[in-house]
Structure 1
Amino acid sequence: MDSPRALAADPRDGYLFWSDWEQAAPRIERASLAGRARRVLVRADVLGDGAWPNGISLDYRARRVYWVDARSDSIHCADYEGADHRVVLRAHPALAHPFAVVVFEAHVYWTDWRSNSVLRADKWRGANVTVVQRTLTQPFDVKVLHARRQPAAARNPCAANGGCSHLCLIHSPAERHCACPHLMRLRPDGATCEPHEKVLLIARAGEIRGVDLDAPLEHVPMQIRLECQTIVRS
């Protein structure tokens, strides 16, 4: 990942979606919530003049991913596999510089930095563009809080924490992978974490990286503890 911008998740299918501004390959990507099976769904630069995929949102009922592009000033959608791409709205006076987006029922909502407003339109045809709210400054994110925006899976592989001692990550509707906090690692049983603090520390400008001597190709996130000593002088 070069310049990730926004993300959205569907826990029913165990999917994580995100947009990336990388200049050489601006795109929408998908992986499982366990960080596996990563793939590119859509290349924004092959959809015309789009190259700044900004906000991203999911239509849970239709299983479609929506995103706004701040370079072509447009709203797009595709299915969860990246197919059936559609341009919802483009070249509209109210769509001048979209930043964030959210889908709810029959509408798509977005924030616009040039008009300082929150707007909405029909999520399929982009019709009936309406200003929902004017703002004094550039609006950043926008969310819809409703039970229908909180989908529940029929079966959750991480129910009862999936048998994991610490972190349970959904990989698919029927699969889960256990993970561990910093300075811990999985035991051979694949479910239990144990302390693991014997790592090689490598420091460079702005970064301290840990290397597992048993698995040197795996990055070990480090928690650096800074201790301060107070000296009281009379």
Structure 2
Amino acid sequence: MLKTSCIISGQDRRVVVDTHLLSPRGITQYKDFIYWTDLEKKSIERAHKLTGHNRTTIHQGHGEYVMDILVFQESRQPGWNPCGADNGNCSHLCLMHPGPPNQAGTFNMTFSCACPTHYTLASDNKTCLPPHAFLLFSQKGDISRLVPNNDHVPPSILPIHNLRNVKAIDYDVPDKFVYWIDGRSKTIKRAHENGTEVSLLLCIPHLSFMTI
């Protein structure tokens, strides 16, 4: 069953929904409704948060196992922060944090730019520079980058998705493209190391070579 608490102490608990719940998992609330996922029914449902009325199935999966759920709406996150304008002029990551205390003893919010793994922050404290030297290696479903002579930073898996059976890889330094052979689809593909501009270059039904 699904329950809700009317007061923050947890007292006065009420049963909201107690029928046709096979395997409820994630739950969230937005305005007058609660939303939940049901693993066995492969569904997302909602009902009124106090009465359980107006119960509606808003998604019924087809072979999909929905585990968790979260409602995103701008009205749930009112206000402003320094990273909200042009990402703080940071090339990659903008991290908001409290600044020095003011005369009233409160903290004004400020920000600093940061870089993803293997990148370094330039002297302007805004631009992230890629590594000058690195190794690329592939596993069956991943292509990873390793910076040599840096034992404190682990390898980083490149955000290139839907890799099934990587047989060989190559790298185009001027244009920063990663090339790979997919043994399952028998194709040669490429993408930037940040996962963008994925494209199919060649389809070979009787693929037999293992290098590019």
Question: Which gives a bigger RCO, structure 1 or 2 (Cα 8 Å, sep 6+)?
Answer: 1
TM-score norm. by structure 2 comes to: 0.47
* Higher Rg: 2
